[in-house]
Every structure is written in structure tokens, then in C-alpha cells.
């Protein structure tokens, strides 16, 4: 900001361009992936993110910097829908939520490492050096092209059955597939249907809207709490430096919650875990305003992190399993994009609460309300009763002409 003589408002606006790019990328690359294949779109997304974030280090002014951040944000937005869609395509049904949780924990670990890297590089190399590391994924792109496999639904749609047979044999060598067996996807897209429009057809409209509401509320809660937790703790009468330990506990709880809830979701069903955990998160946040003593507060903050970020990560797994393969990446992308809006609103929401000088108890209760709304929204999403089988339609299956899967 000092280098280009930017005001705080201008600096905040530039920072928001990346978030808007992420929203656009999540929707557009989600749709494109369902049309042209997940692997190719994922590779393009990583390339855009890596190259344009790297170019931010060489920006000559705020205009070029904003442009690079926006395009890089588009790439970032396309990564998560396609990673999760590919993971769901190939993960064993009994481990889908667990494996999704592990992958999303890597996102969280990256968020933890980023500020640590900044502490090491900023003093001696300046802010531009932080963008140098963005180029590191580029050398791995040939590895992705060579070793990442396309979605079975895409391979079938393109008539590449021989490639699919070989791939299935590698994934599960024990599953013998007869040479004359006819392969088909258990759920098919309506002829000529657009993936984005399909999300609102065949009694899916209410579920798609409610998923969007839940993602908006949850990411509002997570981002707002992450940014304003130190301020809330100061408002509750704690020392200024006390917010940092609580923020660390919140993030540790998020990682632990993601792993534990993923395993529970595989055992009991994702929806059966999500709804009560969102309620627990609301209760924990509400109690923060009334608790006294570091130990009790630490436990409540840990539970809040586990049940907010942990539940949100498992919600991604729910969405990836709810929609059939022909619209899976689109569904994840739309939910992620709506969630990004909540992530932008969250910090503003927290700032308004602090500006009103409300009692500390009301600040925490106000952030608990979105958790209750998220739980209610998921309650309206119709899901199967079998754990791990969240969709009302069959999940993709490889079947022979007699219907055996």
C-alpha cells in the first residue's frame, strides 16, 4: 500500500478482486469440467493460479496487480470443485468423507504455513517475494497430466471404453470385467441438459438453494470468526495478545474436527453428522460469551473450530456425493461460489457487531445464529437413508448389460 500510495479502502478493494475471481472460477470451471472433463480443467486451473499469482510479484502498479490477482483467483476457484469431484469419482464409498476430509485438511495446513512463510521472507525480501513461491506447482503439471485420470462418466460419454476398462482394472484388480460387458453410468444427464440448469431440475431446486444457504452461512461464520475472534476476546475483557492463542486453538480444532467428522460421516451418513454438528457449533459459540477461565474458553474455541470448519469441509463432501457425475463439479462449484459471498460478508458482519458496542455475549450469540440457519438449511435437503449414499438417485456404478454393478 505504501509503495503505490494506496488508501486502506483502495487496498481492501484490490484484495477483494481475488475473492471475486474465485467465485467466478468456481462456477465457470465447475461447468466446464462437467462438459470437457475434470482433469484438463484442473490442470488449467492450477496453471492460471500459479502463473498469475507469480506475476503479482512483478506488477508495476495497482491495475496490473489487481488483474493478476483476479485471474489467479479464477484459477484457485476452479481447483477445489475439480479436486473434490475427481476424488469422489474414485474414492471407495465407505471412505469418501474421510478422504475428502484429509484433502481439505491440506488446504488448512497451507493456510497455516502461509503466514509462517511470510514471517521468514518479508523482513529480508519484501512483499513481492511471497508471490515467488506461487510458481512451484508449475513443474508438477506434467505429472498431473500423466498420472491424474479422467472421470469415468467423461470417458464413457466420449466412448473411451477401452481406456475405462484398463483404468478400472488398475483401481480394483479383483473386479473382473468381461470383455463383452456393457459399461454404463448409473445416473445419466438429460439429453442436451446444461449442468448448471440441471441442478434445479427433477426436484433438486430446493436442495440446491438450501445447500447455497448453508454454505453462505457457514463461511460467513468461519471467516468472520477467524478475523474477529481476537477483537471479541478483547471486548470480553481479555488481554490484547490473548486472541492469538485462541486463534491457533480454533485452527487446530478445525483440522481435528475435519478428520473426526469425516470418519463419523462415513459410518453414520453425512447429513446425520452435519446437522447436529452445526447446532453444537452454535451452542459452543454462544457459551463463549458466558464462559470464564482460559481452560474452559480453550475447550469451547476448540469445539467451535471443529464443528464450524470441520462441518463445512464435510459439507463439501456431502455436495460432491449429492449430485450425479454429469453435474458434480458444477454443483460443488456453485456451492463454493455462494459460500465465497458469505466469506466476504463475514468480516463486515463482525465489524458491524463491534461497532455497535454490544455486550460480549451478544457478539458471540450473533455469530452462532448462522450455524443454526445452516443446520436448518441442510435439514431441508432430501437425502438417502443409507450412510455414505447421500443422493436420492444411485451413485455412479459400472454395470453390465444385465444391471449387475
Q: What's the mean per-residue pLDDT of the chain?
A: 80
Query: Residue 238 has what pLDDT?
Result: 64
**CA proximity to 111, closest of 30, 222, 1, 215:** 222
Query: Residue 184 has what pLDDT?
Result: 53
Return the C-alpha cell found at 225.
470468526
Torsion sign over Cα 266, 267, 269, 272: negative
Return the C-alpha cell found at 168.
478400472
**CA proximity to 391, closest of 53, 96, 86:** 96
Query: Residue 128 has what pLDDT?
Result: 87
| In the chain, where the domains are located | 8-149, 195-379
How many angstroms separate the CA atoms of 309 and 314, rounded?
9
CATH code for the part of the protein at 8-149: 1.20.1250.20
Give the mean pLDDT of 352-373. 85
pLDDT at 116 > cutoff 80: no
pLDDT digits (tens, 9 = 90+) for 35-84: 888 888 999 999 999 999 999 999 988 889 999 999 999 999 999 889 99
pTM of the prediction? 0.79
Looking at the chain, the whole-number percentage of residues with pLDDT higher than 90 is 31
Tell whether domain 195-379 is in CATH 1.20.1250.20. yes
* Residue entry with cell 475439480: 82
pLDDT confidence bin for 107, thresholds 50/70/90: confident
How many angstroms separate the CA atoms of 8 and 164, rounded?
53
Angle at 221 between CA 324 and CA 295, to 5 degrees: 120
Q: Which of 106-115, 253-262, 348-357 has the highest mean pLDDT?
A: 253-262
pLDDT digits (tens, 9 = 90+) for 137-166: 999 999 988 888 887 777 777 777 777 777
Query: Residue 241 has what pLDDT?
Result: 57
Return the C-alpha cell found at 39.
482433469
Contact 253, 305 (CB under 8 A): yes
Query: Residue 307 has what pLDDT?
Result: 92
Encode burial over 381-405: b for 16+ CB neighbours within 10 A, e otherwise: bebbeebbbbbeeebbebbeeeeee
Amino acid at each position: 500500500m505504501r509503495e503505490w500510495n494506496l488508501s486502506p479502502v483502495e487496498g481492501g478493494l484490490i484484495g477483494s478482486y481475488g475473492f471475486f475471481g474465485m467465485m467466478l472460477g468456481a462456477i465457470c470451471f465447475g461447468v466446464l469440467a462437467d462438459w470437457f472433463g475434470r482433469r484438463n480443467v484442473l490442470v488449467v486451473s492450477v496453471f492460471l493460479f500459479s502463473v498469475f499469482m507469480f506475476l503479482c510479484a512483478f506488477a508495476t502498479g495497482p491495475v496490473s496487480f489487481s488483474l493478476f490477482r483476479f485471474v489467479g483467483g479464477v484459477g484457485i476457484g476452479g481447483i477445489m470443485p475439480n479436486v473434490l469431484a475427481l476424488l469422489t469419482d474414485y474414492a471407495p464409498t465407505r471412505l469418501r468423507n474421510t478422504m475428502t476430509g484429509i484433502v481439505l485438511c491440506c488446504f488448512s495446513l497451507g493456510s497455516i504455513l502461509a503466514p509462517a512463510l511470510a514471517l521468514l521472507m518479508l523482513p529480508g525480501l519484501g512483499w513481492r517475494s511471497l508471490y515467488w513461491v506461487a510458481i512451484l506447482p508449475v513443474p508438477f503439471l506434467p505429472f498431473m497430466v500423466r498420472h491424474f485420470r479422467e472421470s469415468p462418466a467423461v470417458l464413457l460419454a466420449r466412448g473411451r471404453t477401452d481406456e475405462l476398462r484398463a483404468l478400472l482394472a488398475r483401481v480394483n484388480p479383483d473386479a473382473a470385467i468381461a470383455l463383452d460387458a456393457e459399461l454404463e453410468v448409473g445416473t445419466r444427464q438429460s439429453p442436451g441438459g446444461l449442468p448448471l440448469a440441471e441442478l434445479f431440475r427433477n426436484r433438486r431446486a430446493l436442495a440446491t438453494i438450501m445447500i447455497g444457504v448453508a454454505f453462505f452461512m457457514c463461511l460467513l461464520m468461519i471467516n468472520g470468526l477467524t478475523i474477529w475472534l481476537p477483537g471479541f476476546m478483547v471486548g470480553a475483557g481479555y488481554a490484547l495478545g490473548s486472541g492469538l492463542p485462541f486463534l491457533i486453538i480454533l485452527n487446530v480444532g478445525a483440522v481435528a474436527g475435519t478428520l473426526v467428522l469425516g470418519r463419523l460421516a462415513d459410518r453414520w451418513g453425512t447429513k446425520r453428522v452435519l446437522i447436529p454438528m452445526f447446532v453444537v457449533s452454535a451452542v459452543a459459540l454462544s457459551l463463549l460469551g458466558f464462559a470464564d477461565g482460559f481452560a474452559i474458553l480453550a475447550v469451547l474455541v476448540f469445539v467451535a473450530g471443529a464443528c464450524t470448519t470441520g462441518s463445512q469441509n464435510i459439507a463439501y463432501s456431502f455436495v460432491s456425493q449429492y449430485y450425479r457425475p454429469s453435474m458434480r463439479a458444477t454443483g460443488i462449484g456453485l456451492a463454493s461460489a455462494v459460500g465465497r459471498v458469505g466469506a466476504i460478508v463475514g468480516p463486515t458482519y463482525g465489524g458491524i457487531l463491534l461497532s455497535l458496542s454490544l455486550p460480549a455475549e451478544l457478539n458471540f450469540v450473533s455469530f452462532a445464529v448462522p450455524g443454526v440457519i445452516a443446520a436448518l438449511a441442510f435439514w431441508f435437503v432430501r437425502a438417502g437413508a443409507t450412510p455414505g449414499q447421500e443422493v436420492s438417485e444411485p451413485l455412479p456404478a459400472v454395470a453390465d448389460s444385465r444391471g449387475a454393478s
